Amino acid sequence: MMNPAPQANKPSGVILYGGAFDPVHRAHIEVARAALRYASLAKVVFIPSAQSPLKVHGPVASDADRLEMLRLATAAEPDFLIDDCELRRGGISYTVDTVRAFLAQQAEAELYWIIGGDQLAQLAQWHAIGELAQWVTFLVLARPGYPLADPGIDGLRWLRIEAPLMPESSSRIRQRIRRQLPVSELLAPSVEAFIQAKRLYVAP
């Protein structure tokens, strides 16, 4: 069932934000801030994936470097946390496994999961989506070219989150770095400095 607007009495909960974060960029942070407006007293937990089941290639940067970039990008955000459970687990990162782990620790938590509008259209392909639909409410970010239509999954709960439609994507940033184009407007200064120091994403 879709509710396109935030609720008047916002529940507390935990907002889970999975992704490669390769690298984490300003749009990731803005989306997390927007999600917080939908769940009072909530925390956003960034969960870097080991390997997405819907992507052919794995992350370019190492697990350690992606974690460090997340730490740098969220250092000034007290409501942002990082969990490396999927990296420690290794293999294909299935969302349902991560949600099960969170519920094992916080059985009463109200869980949300941030996705983009492109992922909403693919939810029917997610592993154990019927089980996931019972446990989480999806917070969906509108993205250009992806109309937000109900995917028709029984019991699915999702809310559209209002956030600026920004052109950043991790793949675009990696391409710009390889081409030696500026990325200062797309990354936190500390993240950009780390990428430069480690020579991440440069052409071989």
Domain count, the chain: 1
Model confidence at 204, pLDDT cuts 50, 70, 90, reads: low
**Assigned domain for 124 exists:** yes
**Assigned domain for 188 exists:** no
What tens digit of pLDDT does each residue of 45-103 get? 999 999 988 777 789 999 999 999 999 999 999 999 999 999 999 999 999 999 999 99
Where in the chain does DSSP place strands (E)?
A: 2-3, 14-19, 43-48, 80-82, 111-116, 136-141, 157-161
**Assigned domain for 194 exists:** no
Q: Give the structural domain span for 96.
A: 2-166
d(CA 7, CA 71): 31
Question: Which pTM was predicted?
Answer: 0.90
